[in-house]
Chains A and B, each alone.
Chain A
Amino acid sequence: MTRIAHWVVLALAVAVFLLPFAVLLRDGIGADWSTVADLFSDKELMFTRSLVNSTVVAVLQTAGQVVLCSLAGYGLARVRYRHAPVVLYAVMATLMVPTAVTFVPSFVVVSSLGWLSDFRGLVVPGLFSALNVFLFRQFFLDFPVALEEAGRLDGLSRWGVYWRVVVPNATGFVAAIAVIDFIGSWNQFLWPLLIAQDSDTWTIQVALSSLLTAQNPRVTLLFAAAAVSILPIVLVFAVAQRYLVRGVTETGLTGQ
C-alpha cells in the first residue's frame, strides 16, 4: 500500500515538474515553424545577434574562469610561500560578500574603464570567482603528491608538472566546474542588463526580457524564442549530467 502511494506521489511530482516544459513546447515550437523562422529573420528582435553574444560570453567566461581559478587554486594548495596564508585569507573573505550586493560598485569600476556595452565589461569582471578557487584548492589538496613528485624527478618545473601531470589527471573535476560555470554564465541576467545598454551587445536573457516586458508582447514569438534559448543548455545538461551533479554537490556542500 505505502509502495503504491510512494509511486503515485512520485508520478505526480514528475508531472508537475515537466508541465512548464510541456507548456513551453506547446506554445512555442508546437505553434508552427514559421514563427521560429521569423525569430531568426527579423533583425529588430536582436535574436540571432543575442544568441551569438551569449555563446561568446559563456564560452570565454567559462574558459577564463576555469584556467584562472584552477591555477590560483593550485598555487594556494601547493606552493610554499611566506605570504600565501594572507592571500588565501583575502580570497576567502570575498566569499562572504554576495556578488549581487557588489553590483553597484562593480558597475562603477566597469563604467569608468569605458567597458559599458562592451564584451570586456560582460566577460572580465565575472572571471574572478573566489568560490571556484576555493573548490580547486580543496581538490588539489587531496591530489596524490607522489604523482607530482614523479614529475619533478623527471625534470619538470612546477609549471610543467601542473600542465603535464596535474591537469590531465583532473579532467573530471575541471569538467564539473566548467559545466556549472557555463550554465551560470548563459543564464545570468542582472549583470548583462546593466552592462549591455546598447542592443548590439545584448545577451539572450536580456533580449528575451525585452520581448517579455515590451508593449503587447507577441506570445507565440516569445515562447519560440524561450524554447530556442534553452536548447544549448539542455544539450549541455544531457551530455554532461554526471559532471553537473558532481559540480553541484561540490559547490553546494563545501561552498558555504
Chain B
Amino acid sequence: MRRGREALTFWLFVGPFAAGLLLFTYVPIGWSAYLSLFDAHNTVAPTEFVGFDNYVDVLTDRAFLDSLGTFTVFAAFIIPTTVVLSLGLALLVNRIPIAQVFFRSVFFLPFACSYVVAALIWKMSLFSGVDSGVANTVLGWFGVEPQAWVGTVDPPLYWVVLVTVRLWLQLGFYMILFIAALQRIPRHLYEAAWIDGASPGWQTFRYITLPGLRGALVAVLTLNLINAYQAFDEFYNVLGDSRGYAPFARPPLVYLYYNSLGSGGQDLGRGSAGALVLALVIALATLLSGKVSRRRR
C-alpha cells in the first residue's frame, strides 16, 4: 500500500518530464535509426528499405568528410585561444582590489548577445570588406591594403572572422567559471608558499593555482569541444547570403542542414544516418578527452 503511494507520488513529480523526454528525445533517436535504413525523401513513413546505403552515402561523401575537417580546424583555433584568454581574463579580474563587479560585467555582457546579432556586427561592420570597415581602418593605419575578410579564401581570412566572433561571445562565460574556481582555492595555500619562499607569480601559479583549477579546466575544455562541434549560427549567418552558402567552411551541422533539411528537398534517411554518425563521433571525442585528462592527473 505504502509502496504504491510512493510510486504515485514519484510519477506525479517526474511523470510529465519523463513523458516529454521520451517523446522528444528517445522516440526521435529511435525513429531516426529506423529512417536511416530507408529511402526517406520528403517523408517520415518510408517504404523502401535500403539497408546501410545511407551510411555508405554519408561516409563516402567528400563534403561530409570535409565538414569533419572544417570542425577540426575550427576546434584547433578556438579551443586553445578560449582556454588561455578566458583564464587570463579571470586572473586579471580576480587580482584587482576594486570594481571587480564592473569588469566582470563588461567581459560577461556579450553572453547576452545572440550569435545572429554578433555575426551581423562582425560581417557588416567590424570585418566588412569596404575601406571604412573597422578592421580595414586599423590595417590602414599600418599602411596595409583593405581586405575582403569574409570572402577571402587564400589566405583563409574568414577564419579570423569566425574565431573572433565566438571568442567575443563566449570568453566571459568561461571567465566566470574560472573566477568561481579561483575563489575556491584556499588563500592559506598561497600564504604558506610565500612563507616557504616561493615568489608570487609564476611559481605559485604553477604549483598552486593551476592544480586548483584542474576541475574547471576539464569543464571548460569539454564544454568548448561540444559547443564547437555544434557550431552553426555564426557560420550560417556570416558565410550565407542571398546566393546561398559559401562553397567552403561547412562544419557538420551546416552540412547536415543543407544536405538533408535545407531548400534542396528533404532527405531524412540520409540526414538521420549523418546525425547518428555525428553523435558517435562526438561521443568518442568526449570519452577520449575524458581519458586524456584523467591520465594527466
| A contacts, CB < 8 Å to B | 6, 9-10, 13-14, 17-21, 23-24, 27, 68-69, 71-72, 74-76, 79-82, 84, 87, 90-91, 94, 96-109, 111-112, 124-125, 127-128, 130, 133, 158-159, 162, 183, 186-187, 189-190, 193-194, 205, 208-209, 212-215, 217, 219, 222-223, 226, 229-230, 233-234, 236-237, 241, 244-245, 248-249, 252-253, 255-256
Contacts and interface: CB of A to CB of B under 8 A. Distances in A.
A255 B223 CA distance: 9
Interface in B117-158: 117-126, 134
Contact of A253 (B45, B126, B181, B226): B181
- Most chain A beta-carbon contacts within 10 A, residue among B109, B172, B181: B109
Contact of B261 (A13, A80, A194, A214): A194
B208 interface: no
A71 B25 contact: no
A229 B176 contact: no
Q: Which of B13, B44, B110 has the most CB of A within 10 A?
A: B13
A90 B226 CA distance: 21
A202 to B, nearest CB: 12
A228 to B, nearest CB: 10
A47 B50 CA distance: 45
A198 to B, nearest CB: 15
Contact of B177 (A107, A158, A249): A249
Contacts of B118: 20
Interface of A is mostly: helix
Given A100-B232, A212-B119, A68 B286 contact: no
Interface string B222-254: 110010011011001100111000000000010
A209 B261 contact: no
B79 interface: no
Contact of A79 (B13, B16, B283): B13
